[in-house]
Amino acid sequence: MSRQIFLDTETTGLSPESGDRVIEIGCVEMINRRLTGRHLHFYINPERPNHEDAVKIHGLTDEFLADKPVFAALADEILEYCRDAEIIIHNASFDVGFLNAELKRLSKGVFTDHVAGVLDTLVMAREMFPGKSNSLDSLCKRLEVDNTHRTLHGALMDAELLAEVYINMTRGQDALLIDASGGNEGDETGGQVIEAIDYSQFNLPVVGPTEEEAAAFEKSLEALDKASGGKTLWKSVEVVL
């Protein structure tokens, strides 16, 4: 089972070294490339005032956060939710730096002690789209992910958008895994013997797509073509019936 968690935080400012704290955390779970709907979301009392510029970004005022639980009361639940999963974050060094500072206050090690690993989608995006803006908003626009409802930053909303962006960025990568050895069991390559199957013995029904499924498929092809800069091969291949 492949379990991945898309994670985002909002904070009182930009520097955990200067005492800035986490005020919101949002997590979205995906298992085997399917979003489960099992989210984790908390607003957190940072036990200190927000920076004015930070409030302009996330809109979470000191008054709103005053009656929320502190991080120490939530740490175990957050760590248990994330435990042994691959954590996917946009600009991971920022969020992980803040989580490490919070965990250090509680003598709970560092965040990566509790998870299988951390994947930074900002690094991925810079490799895929060099020289372009790779903010979350820019990626949403480039990959046709609807973010029109994002007027302020919100941890859960941004984690949900990141999940859609990541799925679009990695579309097709997990479609087929092939044994590169290509050998048979007992031969020098150490591969497996795969017995041929006579498919003529089966009467397989052919089920055509619905109109909605066909439209969704065409939209996916258009997105792939756009992401490749119009370099997809199927447009240049003549279909033979």
3-state secondary structure the chain: CCEEEEEEEEECCCCHHHCCCEEEEEEEEEECCEEEEEEEEEECECCCCCCHHHHHHHCCCHHHHCCCCEHHHHHHHHHHHHCCCEEEECCHHHHHHHHHHHHHHCCCCCHHHCCCEEEEHHHHHHHHCCCCCCCHHHHHHHCCCCCCCCCCCCHHHHHHHHHHHHHHHCCCCCCCCCCCCCCCCCCCCCCCCCCCCCHHHCCCCCCCCCHHHHHHHHHHHHHHHHHCCCCCCHHHCCCCC
- pLDDT on residue 176: 35
Residue 57 belongs to a domain: yes
Residue 190 belongs to a domain: no
Residue 221 belongs to a domain: no
Residue 209 belongs to a domain: no
- pLDDT on residue 175: 39
Q: Which residues are catalytic?
A: 153
Residue 31 belongs to a domain: yes
- pLDDT on residue 185: 42
Torsion of CA 176, 181, 182, 187, to 10 degrees: -150
pLDDT averaged over consecutive 10-residue blocks of the chain (241 residues)?
95 97 98 96 98 95 98 98 98 98 98 98 96 96 91 91 96 47 42 52 72 84 77 63 46
Number of Cβ atoms within 10 Å of the Cβ of 30: 20
Looking at the structure of the chain, the number of domains it has is: 1
- pLDDT on residue 197: 56
Residue 229 belongs to a domain: no
Residue 160 belongs to a domain: yes
**What strand order describes the sheet that includes 34-43?**
34-43, 22-31, 3-11, 86-89, 117-120
- pLDDT on residue 234: 65
Q: Is 131 left (phi over 0), alpha (psi -120 to 50) or beta?
A: left
Residue 11 belongs to a domain: yes
CATH code, 74: 3.30.420.10
0.75 exceeded by the pTM?
no
What range does the domain containing 159 cover? 3-169
